Amino acid sequence: MRGISKSFHGIPANQDISFSIESGEILGLLGENGAGKTTLMNILYGLYQPDAGEIRINDAPVRIHNPLESIALGIGMVHQHFMLIQNHSVLENIALSHKDTPFFFPTVKIREKLENFSASFDFNIDLTKKIWQLSAGEQQRVEIIKALLNGADLLILDEPTSVLTPQEIKELISILKEMKAKGHMVIFISHKLDEIMDICDRVLVLQKGKIAGSALTRDTDKISLARMMVGRDVVFNIQREKIDRGNQILSVEHLNVMGDKGLPVLKDISFEVFENEIFGVAGVSGNGQRELAEAVTGIRKAESGKIRINDRDITNTSPRHIYDQGVSHVPEERIRFGIAPGLFLYDNAILKQHHLKKFSKRYFLKYKDVKDHAKNLMDDFNVSAHSIHSQIRNLSGGNIQKLILGREISEKPQLLVASHPTYGLDVGATEFMRNHLLELRKTGSAVLLFSEDLEEIFELCDRIAVIFDGEFMAILDSGDRRLNDIGLMMAGSKRI
């Protein structure tokens, strides 16, 4: 790509960007939230047209008007938010996107192709399963298969690991290394510096739409990359003061919950969360975390057991009723449940809160108050967007996340249920949000935090439950020496 520039409504997202990638290379793309990474890759994939600059493949200039053309040129992309059809099977999804799927008996032909193909790459996936039955890692493998089967020489992965479990990340890395060995090229976007250092040959750093620098991973380190990205030294400064916990806010007793597949996913879970406490649930994703968050916030039915907020029974009452008891929720799948993508930023700033007195009078929204609130949220949580009138789907991934967190935190909830609050955030924003969670704790809220990131769990939590296969293996105080065994407990091989 040479001299690429792109503006939206007169505001530059990419400015004069030039870089190249060669066969067998894995290039990392790094930059703060809103730096222009996704935009640049969308241009390469033909989703956007650049205002200036050109793309060359094998030294010949090409114009890419849409993804069909980029696929024909051997470019594939796995988006930050997956684009699979949930009610179709893996095979049907692959057939739908394949460039020469026949009109008659489409899946028969594709199955043949896939069988030849899986002889050369090792994807371990059941083709007959429906997409909704797959874990995030499996869905991502489907996206990668789609791209490779279309003959991608260059694969673009936009934050591929933020939704994966550590095991799935390992599997992804081995697929990428296999691709590299076969001469494919990969562009890999991530906020996790360890991963970039581990996977990539070279890194390109964007800052506010421009190239801030590039380096071979063997000649650089995490600290220099972070400095290049932010333009200053990044020092993680998170301090959890000792605070005595207050009254009990949440109590869960003998909770049993069924999963989407009609099998029990939570088995006899009991715990409490108190004021001034962050209670962490550590575990490999898919062990019941999502169902627990959904049961507490009223999205999923409890088969048996009791859930109480401030001693009031809220078991199987409506999400709205539970919200009115002071329970906020940062959901795991934020594009599906956390926002209304087609609405404006200011509408999204009060989602679920539109019935509150401060925002509505009789049946009408008080638009001035709503908009003021949205502006304050943007300022307080560094949400970078064109204006409060932007459609939320045009915000960068990390900025959507900041808006959701800001909205839920700013309500000063009695209980915040937060699933992976720092997914997709850059290093600076991660530190900022973790400090906000500690501030909530200090001012008397209770926080139920789900995370796979052990560093995050250890940094923030007063007590930590380890979940495996729908059961708590143990509930430990921070500082408990048995925390050394947390990895074993997460794998289910130890109960204390």
397 touching ligand ATP, by CB under 6 A: yes
Taking CB within 5 to 8 Å according to partner kind, which of ligand ATP, Mg ion, none is near residue 280? none
Residue 36 to residue 41: CA distance in whole angstroms? 9
Candidates 397, 406, 421, 470: give the one binding Mg ion (CB under 5 A).
Answer: 397
Please tell me the distance from the alpha carbon of residue 338 to that of residue 277, in angstroms, as a whole number.
24
Strand partners, 273: 250
Q: What angle do CA 266, 473, 251 make, to 5 degrees?
A: 60
> From the CB of 187, what's the least distance to ligand ATP, in Å?
12
> Contact between 28 and ligand ATP (CB under 6 A)?
no
- Binding partner selected for residue 31 from ligand ATP, Mg ion, none, CB under the kind-specific 5 to 8 Å limit: ligand ATP
Closest distance of CB 251 from ligand ATP, Å: 37
Minimum separation from the CB atom of position 209 to Mg ion (A): 13
Exposure b/e, 48-60, CB count within 10 A at least 16 = b: bebeebebeeeee
**Closest approach of Mg ion to the CB of residue 36, in Å:** 9
Q: What is the spatial distance between Cα 464 and Cα 466, in angstroms, rounded to a whole number?
A: 6
What length does the chain have?
A: 496
Q: How far is the CB of 12 from ligand ATP (least distance, A)?
A: 8
Least distance CB 400 / ligand ATP (angstroms): 8
Contacts with ligand ATP, 376-395, as mask; x by CB under 6 A: --------xxx-------xx
Q: Distance (Å, rounded) from C-alpha 251 to C-alpha 33?
A: 37
Question: In the complex, what is the shortest distance from the CB of residue 119 to ligand ATP, in angstroms, rounded to a whole number?
Answer: 35
Asked if 89 touches ligand ATP (CB under 6 A), the answer is no
Among 398, 406, 421, 470, binds ligand ATP (CB under 6 A): 398
* Burial of residue 432, with CB atoms counted within 10 A of its CB: 0-12 exposed, 13-18 middle, 19 or more buried: middle
Q: Determine the straight-line distance between the first and last CA of the chain, rounded to whole angstroms.
A: 55
Do the beta carbons of residue 399 and residue 191 sit within 8 Å?
A: no
Residue 120, C-beta contacts closer than 8 angstroms, at least 6 positions apart: 182
| Ranges within 148-167 binding Mg ion (CB under 5 A) | none
- C-alpha to C-alpha distance for 95 and 90, rounded to whole angstroms: 9
**Binding to ligand ATP by residue 162, rule CB under 6 A?**
no
Residue in 14, 15, 38, 289 binding Mg ion, rule: CB under 5 A: 38
Q: Compare residues 260 and 380 and give the one whose CB is closer to ligand ATP.
A: 380
Q: Which does 13 bind (CB under 5 to 8 A by kind): ligand ATP, Mg ion, none?
A: ligand ATP
38: contact with ligand ATP by CB under 6 A: yes
CA angle 146-151-154, nearest 5°? 90
For residues 211 and 193, give the distance between their C-alpha atoms in angstroms, rounded to a whole number.
18
Name the segment binding ligand ATP (CB under 6 A); options: 35-43, 269-277, 367-375, 437-445: 35-43
Nearest distance from residue 177's CB to ligand ATP, in Å? 25
- For residue 34, the minimal CB distance to ligand ATP (Å) is 4
DSSP states along 229-261: HHSS--------------SEEEEEEEEEEE-TT
Nearer to Mg ion, 32 or 171 (CB): 32
- Residue 440 near which of ligand ATP, Mg ion, none (CB within 5-8 Å, type-dependent): none
Residue 55, CA atoms < 13 Å, CB-side half-sphere: 20
What six digits make up the tokens of 21? Answer: 């990638």
Complex with Mg ion: residue 426 or 456, whichever CB lies closer: 426
Q: Judged by CB under 6 A, how many residues of this single chain contact ligand ATP?
A: 19
Does residue 420 interact with ligand ATP by CB under 6 A?
Answer: no
Can residue 427 be called a binding residue for ligand ATP (CB under 6 A)? Answer: no
Contact criterion met (CB below 8 Å) for 185 and 22: yes
251, interface contact from Mg ion, ligand ATP, none, CB < 5-8 Å by kind: none
Residue numbers at the binding site for Mg ion (CB under 5 A): 38, 396-397
